[in-house]
Chains A and B, each alone.
Chain A
Amino acid sequence: MNDWHVSLFVASLLAGAAPLVLAAMGETVTEKAGIINLSLDGTILLAAMAAFVTALETQSLLLGFGAGAATGAFMAAVVAFMSLHLRQSQVAVGFVLTLMTKDLAYFLGNNYARLPGPQVPMIPVPLLKDLPLLGPSLFQHTAVTYVSVLCIGLTWVFLYRTRFGLILRAVGENPGAAFARGIHAPRVQFLYTVVGGLLVGLAGAAFSLSVKPGWGRPQGAEGIGWIALALVIFGGWHPLKVALGAYLFALLQMLGITLQGLWPSIPSQVFQTAPFPLMIFTLAFMHLAERPEMERWAAARPWVGRVVRFLKARAPRALGRPVLPEQHP
Chain B
Amino acid sequence: MKPQSFRQTLQHLFWTLALALGLSSAVVALSGASPWDAYRHILFGSLGSWQKLAQVFRVWIPLTLCSLGLLYTFQIGLWNIGAEGQVVLGAVGATAMVRWFNGAPPELVLPAALLGAGLCGGFWALGAGLLKTRAGVNEIFAGLGLNFVATGLLLWLIFGPWKQPGIASMSGTETFPEAYWFPGLAGWAVSPYALGATLAFMGLTAWILKTTRLGLALKAIGRNPQASYLLGLSPWRWMLLAMLVAGGLAGLAGAYQALAVYHRLIPNISSQYGYLALLVVMLADERWQPIPVICFFFAALNVGSIQLPMMLRMDSSLAGVIQGSLVLSALAVQGLTSKRRNTS
Contact = CB atoms under 8 A, between A and B. Distances in A.
Interface of A: 38, 82, 85-88, 91-93, 95-97, 99-104, 106-108, 110-111, 217, 223, 226, 229-230, 233, 265-267, 269-270, 272-273, 276-277, 279-280, 283-284, 286-288, 326
B271 interface: no
A86 B141 contact: no
Most chain A beta carbons < 10 A, residue from B81, B163, B319, B327: B327
B79 interface: yes
A99 B317 contact: no
A277 B149 contact: yes
A-B residue pairs, 5 tightest by C-beta: A86-B335, A100-B324, A103-B320, A287-B136, A273-B152
Interface string B332-344: 1011101100100
Interface in B121-146: 131, 135-138, 140-142, 144-146
7 contacts: A85-B339, A103-B320, A108-B30, A110-B315, A267-B156, A273-B148, A273-B149
B145 A87 contact: no
A96 B327 contact: yes
Contact of B27 (A91, A93, A104, A270): A104
Contacts of A108: 27, 30-31
Contact of A284 (B131, B160, B332): B131
A269 B156 CA distance: 9
Contacts of A288: 135-136
A276 B159 contact: no
Contact of A107 (B140, B146, B282, B321): B321
A188 B253 CA distance: 44
A158 B279 CA distance: 37
Nearest to B328: A96
Nearest to A89: B331
B17 interface: no
A99 to B, nearest CB: 6
Given A106-B315, A266-B156, A87 B328 contact: no
Given A96-B282, A270-B156, A280 B131 contact: yes
A217 B309 CA distance: 14
B241 interface: no
B332 A82 contact: yes
A280 B81 contact: no
B136 A86 contact: no
Which of A38, A92, A280 has the largest number of chain B CB atoms within 10 A? A280
A24 to B, nearest CB: 15
Contact of A280 (B141, B168, B338): B141
A85 B335 contact: yes
Contact of B159 (A100, A226, A267): A267
A269 B145 CA distance: 14
A88 B331 contact: yes
A276 B331 contact: no
Nearest to A227: B148
The main secondary structure of chain A at its interface with chain B is helix
Contacts of A273: 148-149, 151-152
A32 B277 CA distance: 31
B328 A99 contact: no
Give the residue among A85, A102, A110, A288 with the most B Cβ atoms within 10 A: A110
A91 B137 contact: no
B261 interface: no
B318 interface: yes
Nearest to B144: A226
A309 B36 CA distance: 60
Nearest to B158: A267
B306 interface: no
A82 B335 contact: yes
Interface string B41-82: 000000000000000000000000000000000000001010
Contacts of A93: 328, 331
A104 B321 CA distance: 6
A269 B137 contact: no
Instruction: Give the most central of A38, A91, A100, A108: most B CB within 10 Å.
Output: A100
A269 B155 contact: yes
A179 B123 CA distance: 46
Contacts of A38: 140
B144 A103 contact: no
B320 A100 contact: yes
A287 B135 contact: yes
A106 B31 CA distance: 11
Given A99-B324, A100-B320, A265-B168, A92 B136 contact: no
A226 to B, nearest CB: 6
Contact of A87 (B163, B325, B339): B339
Contacts of B338: 87
Nearest to A109: B315
A276 B149 contact: yes
Given A91-B140, A97-B328, A287-B137, A107 B27 contact: yes
Nearest to B161: A265
A288 B320 CA distance: 40
B19 to A, nearest CB: 13
